Chain A
Amino acid sequence: MIKERMFKGGEFLITDALPEEVFSPEDFTQEQRLIAQSAEKFILGEVVERKDELEEMNPVLLRQLLLKAGELGFLSADIPETYGGAELDKVSSSLIGERVGQGPSGFAISQMAHTGIGSLPIALFGTAEQKKKYLPKLASGELIGAFALTEPEHGSDALGAKTTAVLSPDGKYYILNGQKQFITNAGFADVYSTYAQVDGEKFTSFIVERAWKGVSLDAEEKKMGIHGSSTCSVVFQDVKVPVENVLGEIGRGHVVALNTLNVGRYKIAALTVGVAKMLIGEAVQHAKTRVQFGRPICEFGLIKQKIAEMVVKTYVTESMVYRTARLLDLALEGVDPADEDAGRKTGDALRSYALECSINKIFGSEMLGYVADESVQIMGGYGYIKDNPIEGAYRDSRIHRIWEGTNEIMRLVIVNTLLRAGKTGVLPLREACARVKENLKGNANEASHEGGLLEDERAMVARAKQMMLLVIDCAIKKYGSALPNEQEVVGLLAYMIIEVFAMESGLLRALKKAMKEKEERSIIHRAAAQVYIHESFPRVEMMVKETLAALFEGEDLATKLTDLKKLAQFIPANVVALRREIAESVIAASRYHLTRL
């Protein structure tokens, strides 16, 4: 019997997984479903009810709601039970994040920042004393957390931060001086994890309390979107941080920062799925009631196409989010969160999935940009008017491509992580590339399957991987260790890697759905997977071509293109018809109905 498999980070690029081996929303346990429903009820009953009051930053209401959420356990999925947390698996935590995303963004962002980057540094890397002191109150919402890393001069190159920490003569305090910028929740947070250079170059993490002398805030930023959340600068002027509040080790603050950001990353993707589902619901309901030329506009082909595209992209993102969440859970199975060494072990386990987490963040944020944009379009002029929630969602969505690691940095991380895994032998990358070249010499295009469901698409995903491995191999051969400096090529490689994970995750989920339920119940799932793969496959080919043209010329290029041609053949499916089918099903249900709870 085929069982679930703990694939290594990046392993999906060199292995064709089977549906039974990966997790999908069809595998939610009863407990996970109940958690999702409970979170949804809370958001609808308590937060959505007061959405008008949450449009502009309302710290009093935000704190009240966060406390209520804390009481129910919705703030502490990632906090160990020993410290008052709910200690949930990552799948459950993602389900909560998704439901939170369906509500007003002021609350959603505050909750996300508090439970993610706001609490994780201490939850993952605190000493027992630090955890005891802060975690129970972070879990309940009595204390609100924030992550103060970015500075005016240091965003992406966060590790170059200029905030200084100097040990006091009596050795009891570090004196902190500097300024942090664009800190979410800062306006009402009580506890920050922050980052400063000790002795000028030892990047170190500290726990700082808002109430301490010398900590001050600048005015709230006037942002394009997420107006209901707090974003401001935090200024440290001779702040005395007790040495007990050093988080992790001196000079190893990057371990705290980068591992925290890693988890924060895939949490964003979960949030984007929730927002997207909400927007699809709004757009579809509008399209059903808006009558033009004597018909509701949901009957028009171009509108159906938009609805289908929104659904397909959301479906694929959702497939990736839960596949990744479960991988993290499997990797963390051996780690006892109450263990003294839990932080390091967790960091190690998570770092190996930096590739998948980065993919999630990029894909989710870009998917949301698309869904928000097309939702405005479906709304027409109304989507442009301030009181319409879609208008706000459009402006809200933009930040996700920027924060917690810009999508450009994420692309570099993806490729660097892969290259490192290949170099250190963790991933047999070289062997995989060699196998592809061997297969090309012969005529073994792919093993023939038994004519199962989505057989063509399975083959296409497998060939997309081969196309990508072929070109990665060429890029490594040409640039060697200088490849990371060829950012445009890195970007192209990252594009292919992302598309492969996306295509495969959608495919495996649709096949899982067909396996677990009656085949007819999986029609829309399979249609969504098919549409995505038929759209994505030719794009992968195009990126491969562009890369080859950057690497080769003349005869060499011609040879490589011939190789590529063998892998890039496909017969396009009737995606026009498939999209119509998807749209009509979603329109009848008035919402994104592909995930049953």
Chain B
Amino acid sequence: MNIIVCVKRVPETSEAEIAIDKSGKSIRAEDLVFDINEWDNYAVEEAVRIKESQGGTITVVTLGPPESQDTLRRSLAMGADEAVHLSDPALFDGDPYATARALHAALKDKPFDLLLTGVQAGDDGYGQVGPILGELFHVPHATMVTKLTVEDKKARVHRELEGGMEEVVSLDLPAVLAIQTGINEPRYVSIMGIRKAKSKSLRELTCTDISLAPEDCGPAGSLIEMKGLFLPPTGKAAEIFKGSPDDVSIKVIDIVKEKGGL
């Protein structure tokens, strides 16, 4: 089984105060902690499990600044075999389409049975790179994958739908799958893994290496233009219900149900 996993280095923002940076199109990231995108971590784990049961090689790919190599090393330490780093700054800050095109250009000569991405990135949350890659590679693709079984050149996946429903789909390999969190329990990175990762191959590629013309790279190659980023305006604080506890609790249950919490 040849598996490719696309990974991304993103900031951890759950507890930090977010501020918009000077350009107005990004957040100030200097003091944030960065780590592998949560969804991608599940994807790497899923790939390692498949390799452990069926054999094969795992290639991890990322597009990003020099620090992104930390994410690649981490993935190698988890069990990936080789890494590719699209490190050319001309490729940065593109929209999902430009990013997917760059990844496709880098990988198009690499045969794979499965190409995994995370459902979305924790920072910009577009959720598009996976499906776009599927289209660029002209292979079947599925998103929101919560369970994956590979057998006889087919992938049988469970897809998470709204309202707690699941869809089961079978795809012929090769296929692209966008992995949802919770599909497995990712292993901890061990010292031995880190040690082994040191000697695994990590290749850096530029625009020229992947034969992507400048007008197709980064913002120039994007279909979406980021105009600006802003924090949500503070609105009304809360809705206060009046009535007896019984009445109010029915109202509250309705709202929770409506919003998918029950």
Interface residues of A (CB under 8 A from B): 30-31, 33-35, 37-38, 41-42, 45-46, 71-74, 76-77, 86, 88, 285, 521, 585, 588-591, 593, 597
Q: Which 4 A-B pairs have the closest CB atoms?
A: A73-B191, A38-B189, A72-B190, A86-B191
A333 CB to nearest chain B CB (Å): 18
Interface 9-residue window, one of B30-38, B127-135, B157-165, B247-255: B30-38
Tell whether, in the assembled complex, residue A72 and residue B191 are in contact, meaning their CB atoms are under 8 Å apart. Answer: yes
B188 near A589: Cβ-Cβ < 8 Å: no
Chain B residues contacting A72 (CB-CB under 8 Å) are 188-191
Which of A34, A76, A77, A589 is B74 in contact with, Cβ under 8 Å?
A34
CA distance A45 to B35 in the complex (A): 15
Of chain A, the residue at the smallest CB distance from B77 is A34
In the assembled complex, the Cα of A77 lies from the Cα of B197 at a distance in Å of: 17
CA distance A72 to B194 in the complex (A): 10
| Contact indicator A31/B189 (Cβ below 8 Å) | no
The verdict on B70 contacting chain A, using a C-beta distance below 8 Å, is: yes
In the complex, the answer to whether B15 meets A34 with C-beta atoms within 8 Å is: no
Smallest CB separation, B196 vs chain A (Å): 11
Pair B191/A30 contact, Cβ less than 8 Å: no
A208 to B16, CA, bound (A): 50
* CA distance in complex: A366, B192 (Å): 35
Q: Which residue of B lies closest to A73 (CB)?
A: B191
Q: Is the CB of B190 within 8 A of A589?
A: no
A38 to B193, CA, bound (A): 10
A30-B70, A590-B16, A591-B15 known; A37-B35 Cβ under 8 A? yes
A42 touches B188 (CB 8 A): yes
- Interface flags, B43-80, vs A, CB<8A=1, else 0: 00000000000000000000000000110011001000
Interface: B17 (CB within 8 A): yes
Contacts of A86 in B (CB 8 A): 191-192, 195
Is B189 within 8 A of A593, CB to CB? no
**B198 at the A/B interface (Cβ < 8 Å)?**
yes
B188 touches A45 (CB 8 A): yes
Kindly provide the distance from the CB of B7 to the nearest chain A CB, expressed in whole angstroms.
14
Within 8 Å CB of A590, what residues of B? 15-17
Size of the B side of the interface (Cβ < 8 Å), in residues, is 22
Taking a contact as CB atoms under 8 Å apart, the answer to whether B190 and A73 are in contact is yes
User: Smallest CB–CB gap between B131 and chain A, Å?
Assistant: 30
The smallest C-beta distance from B139 to any residue of chain A, in angstroms, reads: 33
B35: chain A residues within 8 A (beta carbon):
37
Of all chain B residues, which has the CB nearest A69?
B188
At the interface, is chain A mostly helix, strand, loop or mixed? helix
Are the C-beta atoms of A33 and B70 separated by less than 8 Å? yes
Residue of A with least CB distance to B192: A73
B16 and A589 within 8 A (CB)? yes
Per-residue A-contact encoding for B166-202, CB less than 8 Å = 1, 0 else: 0000000000000000000000111110110110000
Point out the residues of chain A lying under 8 angstroms from B74, CB to CB: 34, 37-38
**Contact status of A88 and B31, CB under 8 A, knowing A34-B74, A34-B77:** no
Residue of B nearest to A35 (CB): B194
Closest residue of chain A to B41 (Cβ to Cβ) is A41
> By the criterion CB–CB under 8 Å, are A31 and B194 in contact?
yes
Given contacts A37-B74, A589-B31, contact A88 B188 (CB under 8 A): no
Partner of B198, one of A31, A46, A76, A585: A31
Residues of A within 8 A of B198 (CB): 31
A38 close to B194 (CB less than 8 A) = yes
For A288, give the chain B residue with the smallest CB separation: B17
Q: How far is the CB of A338 from chain B (nearest CB, A)?
A: 17
With A35-B194, A588-B31, A593-B31 already in contact, the answer to whether A41 and B188 are too (CB < 8 A) is yes
Nearest chain A CB to B125's CB is how many angstroms away? 22
Q: How far is the CB of B189 from chain A (nearest CB, A)?
A: 4
Q: Once the chains bind, are A41 and B189 in contact (CB under 8 Å)?
A: yes
- Bound together, the chains give a CA A38 to CA B190 distance in angstroms of 7
CA distance A330 to B19 in the complex (A): 42
Query: What are some 24 contacts across the A-B interface (CB < 8 A)?
Result: A30-B73, A34-B73, A34-B77, A34-B189, A34-B194, A34-B197, A35-B194, A37-B189, A38-B74, A38-B189, A38-B190, A38-B191, A41-B188, A41-B189, A42-B188, A46-B188, A71-B190, A73-B191, A74-B191, A77-B191, A86-B191, A590-B15, A590-B17, A593-B31
- Which residues of chain A are near B70, meaning CB under 8 Å? 30, 33-34
A177 to B17, CA, bound (A): 60
Nearest chain B CB to A307 CB, angstrom units: 15
Give CA–CA (A597, B32) in the complex, Å: 10
Q: Is the CB of A588 within 8 A of B17?
A: yes
Give the distance to chain B from A504, nearest Cβ to Cβ, in Å.
26
Residues of A within 8 A of B19 (CB): 588
For the complex, what is the distance from the CA of A285 to the CA of B17, rounded to whole Å? 11
- Chain A residues with CB under 8 Å of B191's CB are 35, 38, 72-74, 76-77, 86, 88
The CA of A46 and the CA of B31, in the complex, are separated in Å by 26
The residue in B35, B77, B195 that gathers the most chain A C-beta atoms within 10 A of its C-beta is B195
| Most B Cβ at <10 Å: residue of A73, A77, A585 | A73
Alpha-carbon distance between A35 and B188 when the two chains are bound, in angstroms = 11
Contact indicator A589/B17 (Cβ below 8 Å): yes
User: How long is the Cα–Cα vector from A77 to B194 in the complex, in angstroms?
Assistant: 13
Min CB–CB distance A115 → chain B (angstroms): 13
**Cα distance, A46 to B186, chains bound together (Å):** 13
User: In the complex, what residues of A have CB within 8 A of residue B188's CB?
Assistant: 38, 41-42, 45-46, 72
> With the chains together, A589 CA to B77 CA distance in Å?
29
Contact flags B105-121 to A (C-beta < 8 A → 1, else 0): 00000000000000000
Q: Which among B15, B33, B188, B190 has the highest number of chain A CB atoms within 10 Å? A: B188
Least CB distance, A271 to chain B, in whole angstroms: 19
| Cβ distance A336 to chain B, nearest Cβ, rounded Å | 18
**Could you say which residues of chain A place their CB within 8 Å of the CB of B197?**
34
CB nearest neighbor in B for A46: B188
CB-CB under 8 A from A593, the residues of chain B are: 31
Contact residues, B72-117 vs A (CB, 8 A): 73-74, 77
A77 to B192 CA separation, bound complex (whole angstroms): 11
Tell me the bound Cα distance from A593 to B12 in angstroms. Answer: 13
